[in-house]
Each structure stands twice: as structure tokens, then as C-alpha cells.
Amino acid sequence: MRKSKPGKKSIQFKLMSMVTSLMIVTFAIVILIFNLLFTQYIETTATDLLSLSSQNISMGPRREETDSLGINDDEIIRDNNPAFAVSVNRAFITEDYQIIFSADFPVNIQQDTDSRNFVEGLQNLEVPLEEVENARLNWNDNLYYYTMTADESESGQTAVYFINMTDLYNLENYLNLILFFVMLTTLVLALVVTYFISLRISNPMRSLAVFAKRIGEGNYDTINDEFSDQESHELKLAMNETTTKLRQYDAEQRAFFQNASHELRTPLQIIKNTAEGIQYGIVEDKNGAETIKKETDKLTDLVEDILFLSRLESKSPDRLTSINDLRETLSYTAERYKRLFEEKNIQVSYDFSESPVLYKYDERELERTFQNLLSNALRYAENSIRITCKEQGERIILSVYNDGEAISEKDLPHIFDRFYFGKKGVHGIGLSIVKAIIASYGGRIEVSSNSTGTTFTVFLNKLS
């Protein structure tokens, strides 16, 4: 098969690329939003806890006070507020970053080492001991949120409320890791599913591409593969229907050329034989010339008919249409046959509408149609021909009637076939031209024949 051009990608590749890109973008957005919301939650929680702690928690006694009360270091007094017992810590710091007092809450979750680590971070990072709200400190892989206020009872000392949010940030990182593996697993599963879906799409397309190539090579056998997808099945049916039509058209073309070559060969052979007879003195010059002229006229008419039919089938763009009165075209065409009607003593009558019968058409084509119908009627008519042109509802009806012998039941179904010769037929192509012209205007032609005569009726749609 023909190789695909560089840069062209398969449906399979495009589907998998699109799914991969879509899922990566989606998961990136999900992780980003999750981290933003989680970080906002952490910061909001820390801010609320620190604000409430600095406002509502009263400072506990100094260490020296605890010593005088006989309280052990492990029994440091903490603010009795269970709402923040598990998170907020408090310490008093001197100007040289020494912890004077460490007041944790009743539930001993944060140890004194946490306070020392926090103050160590303040000292090493040279954080000024001044009033600040909801600040942030990173030290020794720990994350703290803190608020500082001046100790009004002791100059040179600062009260610090802080909360260690390291566990929550570790939880965030852990959840990010889980989301990443979920994304990776989902992506792999999605790619596997997409791969098999793309196979269901691409395999029928490849089969139909091979089928189309066979059609292009002139093999018009239909394809019998069964496709599970409705679209592929419908495409297969459409291609099979097209293949059937192409096969019929090919057979018609072959028959057409065979018949055309036969019809062309006959007058050519007569012309050749007559010319040879004149050359050797067997045929008189005058009689031979008449024969040659007659056969040449027949040959010319046949060639013109074949060329005209070929232009119709190729839908040549040289059609020149305009709105005209069909009665005038019929009358003009019939007038050209006046001498022939008189020679055969045929009476011609007209059944026309009183008002104009307007239609948009190429006069040359409709004249050719009426010529063929009138010449056909002239060959068979005995006494009369009747030409009709009327509007009936939304249709225009044109008909040519002759009172001649009825068409046999054997010939009737085939009279519009190319090169089909009925009784008194000439080329066998005239009525097929009529049918092709009328069909090109979206109309149809019918024929009825009985003992009283034969009528060819053309139906056209009126102008909107």
C-alpha cells in the first residue's frame, strides 16, 4: 500500500496522545487545586488558632513561681483550653533568645524540644523579636506559624505563640504522592483501554482502505467483513453500494463501447466497400456518392449522439440555462419537421396551455429532447401526432403521442436502454439521450403503449 506522508500520524497515535495529554492536564489541575486548598486550610487554621490564643490565653506563672509552688518541670502549667490543647504552644523569650518560660497546654503533644527548636530557628535566622502576626518559619525540616507580642509585665521579653504544622505538610506531601501514583495507574489503564479502542477504530479503517484500493484497481467485488461499530458498518454498506454501482456502470460502459464500435463500423464498412466499388468500376459514381453521403450522415448523427450523451454523463459545466416558454421550444422544434410530416401525410395537433409554461433550461438540450421524441413518433405514426404542453398542479407535463403500432411487451422495458433497437429503430441511442436529459433536470419520462397508439410523457417540476 502507499506509504503515509511524513508528519502524518495514525488514529491510534493521535487518540493515545490526546488521552495522555488530557489526563496529565486534568491531574495537574487536580493536584494544583488540592495543594492550594490544603495549604490555604493549613494557613487559615494556623492563623485562627494563633489569633485566638494570643487574645484569650492568659500568661502562666514564671518558672521561678513554679519552683516556689513545688511544681516539677514535667508539670508545667498550661492554659486550660482544650480547643487548642493539641496544637498551640507558648514561650517567653528574652532579647538574647533565651527561653524563660515554656507554657504548653494540658495535653502534652508538643514537647519542650519543639519550643527549643523553634527558638533556635528564630535565633539562627536572626528573626527580630518584635510584634508580628501570623508569620512563618522553616527550620530543621519543621514548619512553624507564630505570632509575637511584647510581654507587658516584663520589659525585654517577648511572648511567642507558635504552632508546628509539619505533620500537616507531611500529610499533604504524602497525599500528593498517593495522587501521583493514582494518576500514573489511571493513565496506564486509560492508555491500555484507549489502545484497544483505537484498534477497533483503526482496523476497520485499514480494511476499508484496502477495499478502496481494490476498487481503484478495477476490482468491484464487495466486502463481507463484519464491523461491530455502527459507523464502520454504515461506511462499509455505502462503499459496497458504490462498488455495485461502479460495477454496473463499468458493465454499461463496456457494452456501450462495444455497441458504439459496432454501430460505427457498419457505416464505415459500407463507405469503404462503396469507395472500392467506385475505384474498380463496379459501382456507378453517382450511386456510390449518394450511398457514401447517406452513410456519412448516419455516421455523423451517431457520433454527435455519442458525444452529446458523454457530455451529459460528465456533467459538463457548459450548460446555458435561461427561463423560457416551453410551448415556443416545442412549436419551433415541430416546425422543423413540417416537411417530413407533410411527406408522410401526418396531421399534427397541439394541446397547449393558454398561458406561458415557463421553465429554466438550456434550449439546446430541450430541443434535442423534442427532436428525438418527434423523430421517433414520425417513424411509427400512421395518421396523427399530438403534442401536449401543460401545467398541472406543481408539475409541467409534456407529451408526444402517435397513433402507430403499439410497442411490443418485449421491447417496452428496454426502449430507454442504450443501443437497444426496437422495431424501426435507427441507432438505439436517441431515447436514452432523452431520458438522460430529463433526469439531469430532476424530471422523469414514462411511456404507455396500446392498440390506440403510443405516448411518451415527460414530467418536470414547476419553477418555485
Average pLDDT value for residue range 73-89: 43
Give yes or no: residues 28 and 118 share one domain: yes
* Residue 147 maps to a domain: yes
pLDDT digits (tens, 9 = 90+) for 374-396: 988 998 899 999 999 999 888 99
pLDDT digits (tens, 9 = 90+) for 61-78: 444 433 433 334 333 333
Give yes or no: residues 31 and 159 share one domain: yes
The whole-chain average pLDDT of the chain stands at 79
Give yes or no: residues 341 and 455 share one domain: yes
Q: State which of 313, 345, 366 marks the end of a domain.
A: 313
Q: Is the pLDDT of residue 1 over 50?
A: no
pLDDT digits (tens, 9 = 90+) for 412-436: 888 887 766 666 555 567 788 888 8
**Residues with Cβ < 8 Å from 418, sequence gap 6 or more?**
252, 255, 256, 259, 309, 428, 429, 432
Q: Is the pLDDT of residue 112 over 90?
A: no
pLDDT at 204: 81
**Strand 347-352, strand 384-392: pairing:** parallel
Its pTM surpasses 0.95: no
Give yes or no: residues 136 and 162 share one domain: yes
Give yes or no: residues 294 and 165 share one domain: no
Give yes or no: residues 25 and 165 share one domain: yes
pLDDT at 305: 75
Give yes or no: residues 309 and 326 share one domain: no
Give yes or no: residues 33 and 160 share one domain: yes
Give the residue with greater pLDDT, 69 vs 215. 215
* Residue 189 maps to a domain: no
Count structural domains, the chain.
Answer: 3
Q: State which of 296, 313, 330 marks the end of a domain.
A: 313
Q: State which of 172, 197, 221 marks the end of a domain.
A: 172
Residues of the domain holding 255: 230-313
Average pLDDT value for residue range 363-369: 89
* Residue 410 maps to a domain: yes
* Residue 222 maps to a domain: no
Give yes or no: residues 361 and 294 share one domain: no
Give yes or no: residues 353 and 444 share one domain: yes
pLDDT at 421: 62
CATH number at residue 234: 1.10.287.130
Q: How far apart are CA 267 and CA 157, in angstroms?
A: 129
* Residue 418 maps to a domain: yes
pLDDT at 347: 93
Of 50-59, 181-190, 452-461, which gets the smallest average pLDDT? Answer: 50-59
* Residue 182 maps to a domain: no
Give the residue with greater pLDDT, 54 vs 348. 348
CATH number at residue 31: 3.30.450
Give yes or no: residues 296 and 343 share one domain: no
pLDDT at 66: 36
* Residue 221 maps to a domain: no
pLDDT at 401: 94
Give yes or no: residues 157 and 254 share one domain: no
pLDDT digits (tens, 9 = 90+) for 151-195: 666 667 888 888 888 888 888 889 889 989 988 998 899 888 888
CATH number at residue 418: 3.30.565.10
Q: Is the pLDDT of residue 84 over 70?
A: no
* Residue 203 maps to a domain: no
